[in-house]
Amino acid sequence: MDFDRAKQTYIIEARELLDSMEDILLTLDQQSDPQEAVNAMFRAVHTIKGSAGLFGLDGIVHFSHAAESVLDRARGHQLEFGGDLVALMLEVHDHLAALITSIATGTTDSAGTQNEGGRIQARLQSYLGGGLAKNAPGAQSAAILAAPAGQQASGGRDCWHPSIRFNPDVLRNGMDPLSFVRYLATLGEIVHLTPVIDQLPERDAYDPEECRLGLEIELDTQADRATLEDVFEFVREGSLIRLIPPHSRMEAYIQLIRELPEEDRYLGELLVAGGCLTAHELEVALKLQHNEASEGGAVQGRMLGTIVIQENAVPPPVVAVALEKQKKFQERQAQELKVVKVSADKLDRLVDLVGELVIAGASSHAKAGRSGDAALLEATVVVNKLVEEIRDNALSLRMVKIGETFSRFRRIVRDVSKELGKAIELQIHGAETELDKTIVEKLSDPLMHIVRNAIDHGIEPADLRRARGKPESGTQTLQAGHESGSIVIEVSDDGGGLDKELSSEAWSRRAPNWVTRRSST
């Protein structure tokens, strides 16, 4: 798999996650389920952190870890998620966005960015300070045996990942898997350890003298593979032992998931818990593989198979089974993903081709009409009808809802109004109105100026508003809708309005199609 491409995907996904995080933060008081909102933010930050670890982006891992910890505490009701924290999380969001941008552009973080990060981190720490002991023993289920897992970001470290399923007879043979764990701890630091209990039989089928446990370990060590293999020398027989070296690519983990007896999802979650993979990466990886498979055809499929054979010397039928299992997993993922990302170039090419098709179709239809062949004419009519449908569909592919652009203004309104000390509420109507993506993108900047202008100059300070008999809190409205074949975007506020003489001149010159209206409240 192309690592750079995976990284690009990471950048795109991280930005989307950040957008959703910002959206949640700004609409927190309107959320019907605040708990779920906090959970969603936690998941977003967690995913960003986990994926960053995979790419070795230590700065992001380190920074997002602190934010994640704070969110985790808010999630556990140990922290009140109030105004101050919302403001802080917005700063976290901005800083993460800056970090992601610097990765996207390949620049190193400036000293200013780093200072900013340190400052935010210090404030995050103040929310965490001293209270860690509050985590009652047993209150956290998954990490019972884990070392201080909450405090170390395992994802960013160069960890070996031993994955072990013991031979059921290991206990009867007088060996104790715990002793291996203890020994591993002498070789390095066990950053994370998850006992895998999925294979424990239920109730009476359980033989307490059989070992049905598995271990997924993150070990930070300098030891080499031979040393680690020697640790498991005595249990190798009948056990399933995999050692994944540091900096392994996603495939190695996905391979592991497919090999092991437990369900894919369950294992995926375990690996996520260990910080070596996120569920999201799982999807990304499988998606990328799928893309390449469809582009490269059999080549990719053969490559995967070859890896399996090299690593484990399994016979070809088993490889077929493994690939089948992977395929099923992909299909399930595909059902969950309702949105497919397509590069804009491809869409443009499609639209161009459809345009050509329409012209060619019309010309063949005209020729058929002239030939007087009724059957041919009928056939071209059918073709033309289909072509028209294709054209309509192709054009609608580029349509996006304007709501996303609108909701970006929540942040601007919030920040600017705070800066100016005005209370302003943003109302959005017609967010579901669809526009061509390029237009939506181009709209974003001018809209920003209009909104900023309205907040800056239109809406009056609270005391003036009171004097004019208006409610103290100003209202800024963004509205989109269809009107006689056009899309009308209306930006209005209940402020003092524009200076008529100045505005008529300025607006007719710069944007004649935009409606401005003096509001009367």
Q: Name the DSSP class of 69.
A: H
Instruction: Compare residues 195 and 496 and give the one whose CB is closer to another protein.
Output: 195
Residues 187-206 that bind another protein (CB under 8 A): 195, 197-198, 200, 202-204, 206
Question: Which residue stretch of 207-215, 334-342, 363-371, 449-457 sits at the interface with another protein (rule: CB under 8 A)?
Answer: 207-215
Question: Which residue stretch of 19-27, 83-91, 171-179, 411-419 sits at the interface with another protein (rule: CB under 8 A)?
Answer: 171-179
Q: Which of 105, 141, 310, 484 binds another protein (CB under 8 A)?
A: 141
Q: How far is the CB of 42 from another protein (least distance, A)?
A: 16
Residue 480: strand, helix, or coil? strand
Residue 263 found at the interface with another protein (CB under 8 A): no
Q: How far is the CB of 223 from another protein (least distance, A)?
A: 22
Cα(402)–Cα(444) distance, integer angstroms: 10
CB atoms within 10 A of CB 20: 14
Q: How far is the CB of 421 from another protein (least distance, A)?
A: 45
Instruction: Compare residues 202 and 336 and give the one whose CB is closer to another protein.
Output: 202
Q: How far is the CB of 128 from another protein (least distance, A)?
A: 21
Residue 164 found at the interface with another protein (CB under 8 A): no
Q: Which of 29, 209, 345, 356 binds another protein (CB under 8 A)?
A: 209
Cα(80)–Cα(93) distance, integer angstroms: 19
Instruction: Compare residues 74 and 354 and give the one whose CB is closer to another protein.
Output: 74
The alpha carbon of 385 is separated from its chain's Cα centroid by a whole number of angstroms, namely 40
Residue 109 found at the interface with another protein (CB under 8 A): no
Q: How far is the CB of 222 from another protein (least distance, A)?
A: 27
Q: For residue 153, which of 58, 243, 75, 71 has the smallest C-alpha distance?
A: 58
Question: Which residue stretch of 88-96, 174-182, 226-234, 444-452 sits at the interface with another protein (rule: CB under 8 A)?
Answer: 174-182
Look-up of token digits 């582009």: 295
Question: Which residue stretch of 55-63, 175-183, 395-403, 462-470 sits at the interface with another protein (rule: CB under 8 A)?
Answer: 175-183
**Residue 517 CB contacts under 8 Å (≥ 6 apart), including other chains:** 490, 492
* 430-450: burial string, b at 16+ Cβ within 10 Å, e else: beebbbeeeebeebeeebeeb
Q: Which of 45, 211, 231, 250 binds another protein (CB under 8 A)?
A: 211
Question: What is the size of the binding site for another protein (CB under 8 A)?
Answer: 22
Cα(163)–Cα(184) distance, integer angstroms: 13
Residue 177 found at the interface with another protein (CB under 8 A): yes
CA angle 271, 278, 134 (to 5 degrees): 75
Which residues are paired to 429 by β-bridges? 479
Q: Which of 48, 171, 260, 498 binds another protein (CB under 8 A)?
A: 171
Helix, strand, coil content of the chain in percent (nearest 5): 60, 10, 25
Q: Which of 106, 112, 129, 138 binds another protein (CB under 8 A)?
A: 138
Q: Which helix (H) or strand (E) holds 3?
A: helix 3-26
Phi/psi of residue 428, each to 5°? -120, 130
* 460-492: burial string, b at 16+ Cβ within 10 Å, e else: bebeebeeeebeeebbbbbbbeeeeeebebbbb
Question: Which residue stretch of 36-44, 137-145, 354-362, 390-398 sits at the interface with another protein (rule: CB under 8 A)?
Answer: 137-145
Instruction: Compare residues 37 and 171 and give the one whose CB is closer to another protein.
Output: 171
What is the rounded end-to-end Cα distance, in angstroms, of the chain? 60
Instruction: Compare residues 112 and 137 and give the one whose CB is closer to another protein.
Output: 137
Instruction: Compare residues 207 and 441 and give the one whose CB is closer to another protein.
Output: 207
DSSP alpha helix (H) spans, 232-373: 250-259, 264-274, 279-296, 298-312, 316-336, 344-371
Residue 205: strand, helix, or coil? helix
Q: How far is the CB of 204 from another protein (least distance, A)?
A: 8
Instruction: Compare residues 36 and 392 and give the one whose CB is closer to another protein.
Output: 36
Torsion sign, CA atoms 155, 161, 165, 169: negative
Cα(508)–Cα(125) distance, integer angstroms: 53
Instruction: Compare residues 202 and 295 and give the one whose CB is closer to another protein.
Output: 202
Residues 415-444 that bind another protein (CB under 8 A): none
Q: How far is the CB of 197 from another protein (least distance, A)?
A: 5
Q: How far is the CB of 192 from another protein (least distance, A)?
A: 16
Residue 344 found at the interface with another protein (CB under 8 A): no
Instruction: Compare residues 171 and 219 and give the one whose CB is closer to another protein.
Output: 171
Which residues are paired to 219 by β-bridges? 160, 190
CB atoms within 10 A of CB 354: 18
Residue 260 found at the interface with another protein (CB under 8 A): no
Residue 178 found at the interface with another protein (CB under 8 A): yes
Q: How far is the CB of 208 from another protein (least distance, A)?
A: 4
Q: Which of 122, 132, 142, 344 binds another protein (CB under 8 A)?
A: 142
Residue 139 found at the interface with another protein (CB under 8 A): yes
**Residue 294 CB contacts under 8 Å (≥ 6 apart), including other chains:** none
Site residues (CB under 8 A) for another protein?
Answer: 138-142, 171, 176-178, 195, 197-198, 200, 202-204, 206, 208-209, 211-213
